[in-house]
Chain A
Amino acid sequence: MSSTVSAIQRSALGFVLVLVIFGTLPLVVSSYQMSIANEILIFALLAMSIDVLAGYAGRTSLGHGALFGISTYVVIYWTSVYGGSAWVGCLLGVVVATLVAAIFAAFAVRVSGVYFLLLTLALGMIVWGVCLRWTSITGGENGIRGVGRPDLIASPTAFYYATLAVVLLMTFLIWRFVRSPFGLTLRGIRDSESRMRSLGYGTSAHMFVAFTVTGFFAGVAGALYALFNNFVSPSTVQLSQSVEGLLMAIIGGIGTLFGSFIGAAAIIMLENFVSAYTARWQMVLGVMFIVTMIFAPQGILGTLRMLLIRKR
Chain B
Amino acid sequence: MSDASALVLENIVVAFGALKAVDNVSIAVRSGERHAIIGPNGAGKTTLFNAITGVTPPTAGRVVFQGQDITRRSVQGRARMGISRTFQITNLFPSLTVDENMQLAVRGNGDGKFSMFGAAELNAGQAERASAALSISRLDTRGAVIVSELSYGEQRQLEMAMALVAQPKLLLLDEPAAGLSPAERIIVAEIIRSLSHDLTMVLIEHDMELVLNLVERVTCLNNGQMLAEGTPNEIRSNQLVQDVYLGKAR
Chain A residues within CB distance 8 Å of chain B: 1-3, 173, 176-177, 179-185, 187-188, 190-192, 194-203, 206, 209, 213
Contacts and interface: CB of A to CB of B under 8 A. Distances in A.
11 contacts: A182-B115, A184-B104, A187-B93, A187-B96, A188-B104, A192-B92, A195-B93, A197-B75, A199-B76, A199-B105, A200-B79
Interface stretch (B6-14, B106-114, B149-157): B106-114
B96 A191 contact: yes
A183 B120 contact: yes
A203 B75 CA distance: 10
Contacts of B85: 198
A181 B107 contact: yes
Interface in B89-123: 91-97, 100, 103-105, 107-109, 112-120
A184 B117 contact: no
Contacts of B91: 192, 194-195, 198
A202 B112 contact: no
B109 A200 contact: yes
Contacts of A203: 76
B108 A180 contact: no
B141 to A, nearest CB: 13
A202 B96 CA distance: 20
Contacts of A196: 104, 108
A111 to B, nearest CB: 18
Given A191-B96, A194-B55, A199 B117 contact: no
Nearest to B107: A181
A203 B96 CA distance: 18
B208 interface: no
Contacts of A188: 93, 96, 104
A195 B113 CA distance: 15
Contacts of B109: 199-200
A1 B100 CA distance: 12
B150 to A, nearest CB: 14
Contacts of B112: 181
A181 B118 contact: yes
Contacts of B104: 184-185, 188, 196, 199, 201
A140 B202 CA distance: 64
Contact of B76 (A180, A202, A213): A202
A209 B79 contact: no
Contacts, number: 100
Nearest to B83: A198
A182 B103 contact: no
B96 A200 contact: no
A200 B87 CA distance: 15
B76 A177 contact: no
A289 B75 CA distance: 40
A184 B118 CA distance: 11
Given A191-B92, A200-B108, A206-B113, 16 more contacts: A177-B116, A180-B115, A180-B118, A181-B112, A181-B113, A184-B100, A187-B93, A188-B96, A191-B93, A195-B91, A195-B92, A198-B79, A198-B84, A198-B87, A199-B104, A199-B162
Between A2, A194, A197, A213, the greatest number of chain B beta carbons within 10 A of the residue's beta carbon is seen for A197
Between A2, A173, A177, A191, the greatest number of chain B beta carbons within 10 A of the residue's beta carbon is seen for A191
Nearest to B116: A182
Nearest to A58: B95
Between A185, A195, A203, the greatest number of chain B beta carbons within 10 A of the residue's beta carbon is seen for A195
Contacts of B80: 200
Contacts of B113: 181-182, 185, 201, 206
A184 B116 contact: no
B53 interface: yes
Contacts of A2: 144
Nearest to B79: A200
B73 to A, nearest CB: 12
Given A195-B92, A199-B108, A180 B117 contact: yes
Contacts of B55: 194, 198
B146 to A, nearest CB: 10
A265 B147 CA distance: 35
Contact of B120 (A184, A199, A202, A213): A184
B166 interface: yes
A182 B117 CA distance: 8
A206 B84 CA distance: 20
Contacts of B144: 1-3
Contacts of A202: 74, 76
Contact of B75 (A3, A183, A198): A198
Contacts of A192: 91-93
A197 B76 contact: yes
